[in-house]
Amino acid sequence: MIRSEVLKSLLPVFADHHVVCNIGLPSQELHMMGDKPTNFYMLGTMGLSSSIGLGVALAQKEKVISIDGDGSVLTNFGTLPTIANNVADNFILLIIDNGSYGSTGDQPTYAGMKTSLTAVATACGCENVVECQAEDAPATLQAAIDSNKMTIIVCKCESGNIKVPVITMDPVVIRDRFMKSLEARNA
């Protein structure tokens, strides 16, 4: 399974939860498969999906799922100790680890070589770190949601991409409807 297939299999689990989605193809795929106000698409700032998601989780009560990539976590490694030491039980970090910088043409990352993101997250002090294979992603994410514990999921999948259109929506619109949806849910 490649990332787009993993995301597709997760749609019923994302359901109406708020999702912060990584830059590039993951956001474009999620957008194409079913755009909604509960999705926050990153159009820039590779690496900050986990930081943005943590900020949202710390500021309010609704569950937040950050969809991240192995390359993006590698570029913002500092995020893992911050997450470990600022526990938000409404936060789930879902790292789709395809072992490559998928959005730029599947150049290999170190996560697909000797470096284990699961081991790094654990070493950083994260308490609920789960590694799963692509096929088990829906069950693993559902279990994390049901546990009401901050969880880091490292979902291993194959590299590879499908053709998807870019997101042309205005960033302020993306942000505003996401905020309003959160506000309504917290009211």
Ligand X SMILES: Cc1ncc(C[n+]2csc(CCOP(=O)(O)OP(=O)(O)O)c2C)c(N)n1
- In this structure, are residues 82 and 121 in contact, taking their beta carbons and an 8 Å threshold? no
Report 19-48 residues binding ligand X (CB under 6 A).
22-26, 46
Does residue 103 bind Mg ion (CB under 5 A)? no
- In this structure, are residues 156 and 131 in contact, taking their beta carbons and an 8 Å threshold? yes
- In this structure, are residues 141 and 13 in contact, taking their beta carbons and an 8 Å threshold? yes
Nearer to Mg ion, 47 or 102 (CB): 102
Report 115-174 residues binding ligand X (CB under 6 A).
none
Report 52-111 residues binding ligand X (CB under 6 A).
69-72, 96, 98, 100-104, 109
Paired tokens of 48: 């900050």
| Shortest reach from residue 51's CB to other proteins, in Å | 3
Report the candidate in 161, 168, 97, 158 with the shortest Cα–Cα distance to residue 129: 97
Q: Which long-range contacts (CB under 8 A, 24 or more apart) does 182-185 make?
A: 182/18, 182/56, 182/60, 182/62, 185/18, 185/62
Nearer to other proteins, 15 or 58 (CB): 58
| Shortest reach from residue 123's CB to ligand X, in Å | 20
Among the listed residues 26, 47, 53, 71, the single contact to Mg ion using CB under 5 A: 71
- Provide the binding-site residues for other proteins, judged by CB under 8 A: 20, 40, 42-45, 47-48, 50-60, 76, 78-79, 81-82, 86, 171-172, 174-175, 178-179, 182-183, 186
